[in-house]
Chains A and B, each alone.
Chain A
Amino acid sequence: MSEIIKIKNVIKEFKVLNRREGLKGSLKDLFSRDYKIVRAVDNISMNIEQGEIVGYLGPNGAGKSTTIKMMTGVLEPTSGEILVDGNIPYQNRTKNAQKIGVVFGQRSQLWWALPLVESFKLLKDIYQIPDAEYDGMLKLYQSLVDIGPLLHKAVRQMSLGQRTLSDILAAFLHNPKIVFLDEPTIGLDVSMKAKIRTLIHALNKEKKTTVILTTHDMGDVDALCQRIVIIDKGKMLYDNDIEHLKGFFGSYRTLKIRVEGDLKAQADIIRREVPDFSVSADDEWISVLVDEDKNKVIDVLGLLQKTHKIRDMQLEEISTEEVIKKIYEEGVQ
């Protein structure tokens, strides 16, 4: 195993314009401007090994995209060191580009009007992929997903799911050492999400490609990542594997119940009844997060039973979703 990405004490600052409010403020802005320095990434260090899938998490505006832009060579760090496969990305952007693949969830990088197979052929020329390798890759793709119907379809005629799938295939086509996936499953339905996760997993296993994944969907994290890195407000909060993280919250249990009536509405009521607990609802269950060091699950259940007719219940370990939520809200001690 070798380290493919090395990041050391990286800081990135931006100059942001302070806009004044209202008509008067706009007129003032015309003549004098007021800038402030914002630190988007604040002293981040990490090393990533060849073949890892790393979940890069953080709330909106945490500095994830900025870090990724620095790793891909689009942005130059204000200070600190970044090495991607031995290169400084910003100084050798083209050389770096040859070794990486990038997918942005909602921005296709393929030629809009061209059928997918023609986009692939262009990429083959641009990345100078040898014939044998290209054919091998297409064969691998065929074995993993049903790309037959997609190949001759123009990208603009594809559904969002098909387009994302195509973008991922295109990003892996030149067998890059690292692939950056920025919210690849955003806006997709459940089955498409599953398909894309399986594909990413298979490509990572087959080609030993390092994958850096940013997402807000913890399903992606559970399915793909052994290791997660969490940042917020530009600072690194956590860098280790998920199980280790869950250990911090060992005393937490998720109590899942099913009650009569509309679950979302009932969850709102429960939220009012037990304001100290984190309550959420999906199509099947209402989940209540209980810290066993403070409250007994059985007590909570008893309390709820007084006001609600409980049809069914389950007890689970804390989910990744809830762990991440707690970290965003409270941080790691």
Chain B
Amino acid sequence: MKRKGFIFYLRIYCKILAQDLKSKMSYRADFIISTIGMIFTNISGFVSFWILFRNFPSINGWSYYEMLFLYGFSLVSLTPVQCFFDNNWSLRQNVYSGDFIKYCFRPINMFFYYQSEVFDIKGLGQLAFGIGTLIYSWAKIGLAFTPLMLLKMIVFLLTASLIMIALQNAAAATCFWIQNSFYVLDLAFRFRDYAKYPVTIFSPIFRFIFTFVMPIAFIAYYPSLVILRPHEIPLLSWLSPVIGILFFWASYKIWMHGAMKYSGTGS
């Protein structure tokens, strides 16, 4: 048996993805309705944002466009979880009905095998919205544009995206221990709505919680500081890639621990 490395998994993922997209084309109506739903979600997000901050010139020292930048940043960094890890939402049903057992019999990584089954194409709409918002607010704030900044942006977006993936993995994995775990996942999902606000609005206790316990501040706030406030970047911003990777690794371990514990239903 050959060693199964990164290339092995990448190849399998690409093959599944290609097949999956092909078969999605046969569900055109579903695709269109879901896409419209996604667009609705994003438009409604914008409308809420606009209604709220239209009334106020700045919040806690953050201007309207800076807030918009944070919003765009959160949209983009929340895309990977939507695209690649959407199968987490079905984990509960799979575990509950006993269908999850089929993931236990393949000689490949279970986490990979499970997540590879679903690629959610709707997330791409969100990505487009997010990038549009980022460019618009970038221009309005009058930030310079250099290749170095672009590189920073990409690195920080990618690592920030790991946080939400980690939160969702951990939340989804709770179904291995508690039965009605939908609420946990739903809760994690709702929290991402608050990722777009500067963490400075909270009192110190909750600033600590949202930084270290439920690290939603790393989804947009800390990494954005690198671009938005280049003269006063706190250490935590520079640490955010490390923290992203750390949380992802921890959530992966939790997920796998639950999966290994799983034994199916029935006799």
Contact = CB atoms under 8 A, between A and B. Distances in A.
**A and B are interacting partners:** yes
Interface of A: 40, 60-66, 69, 72-75, 93-95, 97-98, 100, 102, 104, 107-109, 111, 113-114, 118, 121-122, 125-128, 154
Nearest to A59: B267
B107 A40 contact: no
A74 B263 contact: yes
Given A98-B1, A128-B2, A111 B105 contact: no
A132 to B, nearest CB: 16
A122 B104 contact: no
B253 interface: no
Interface stretch (B9-17, B54-62, B182-190, B235-243): B9-17
Given A60-B267, A121-B15, A122-B12, A72 B107 contact: no
Contacts of B11: 125
B102 A126 contact: no
- How big is the B interface, by class? 20 to 34
Nearest to B262: A74
A73 B104 contact: yes
B267 A126 contact: no
Contacts of A111: 16, 19, 117
A125 B105 contact: no
Contacts of A98: 1, 107
B98 A107 contact: yes
B120 interface: no
A212 to B, nearest CB: 14
B105 A122 contact: no
Task: Please indicate which of the listed interface residues A66, A98, A113, A121 has the most CB atoms of chain B within 10 Å of its own CB.
Answer: A113
Closest CB pairs A-B (n = 6): A113-B23, A97-B107, A98-B107, A109-B102, A61-B267, A102-B105
A69 B107 CA distance: 16
B23 A122 contact: no
A126 B264 contact: no
Contact of B23 (A75, A104, A108, A154): A154
B118 to A, nearest CB: 10
Q: Is the interface of A mostly helix, strand, loop or mixed?
A: mixed
B105 A72 contact: yes
Given A64-B267, A65-B267, A107 B101 contact: yes
Nearest to A127: B107
Given A122-B16, A125-B15, A128-B1, A40 B104 contact: no
Interface string B250-267: 000000000010111011
Contact of A126 (B101, B107, B117, B262): B107
Contacts of B231: none
B117 A69 contact: no
A114 B101 contact: no
Given A63-B267, A74-B262, A118-B19, 15 more contacts: A64-B267, A65-B266, A69-B101, A69-B263, A74-B104, A94-B109, A100-B105, A102-B105, A109-B105, A111-B16, A113-B19, A122-B12, A122-B15, A122-B16, A128-B1
A42 to B, nearest CB: 14
B106 interface: yes
B106 A126 contact: yes
Interface in B13-71: 15-16, 19-20, 23-24
A95 B1 CA distance: 9
B200 to A, nearest CB: 40
B193 interface: no
Nearest to A95: B107
Interface string B107-135: 11100000001000000000000000000
13 contacts: A64-B267, A65-B267, A93-B104, A93-B260, A95-B107, A100-B105, A102-B105, A107-B101, A107-B102, A109-B102, A111-B16, A114-B20, A126-B108
A75 B260 CA distance: 9
Contacts of B107: 94-95, 97-98, 126-127
A291 to B, nearest CB: 32
Nearest to A93: B104
Interface in B125-176: none
B23 A114 contact: yes
Nearest to A119: B19
A114 B106 contact: no
A40 B15 CA distance: 41
B1 A113 contact: no
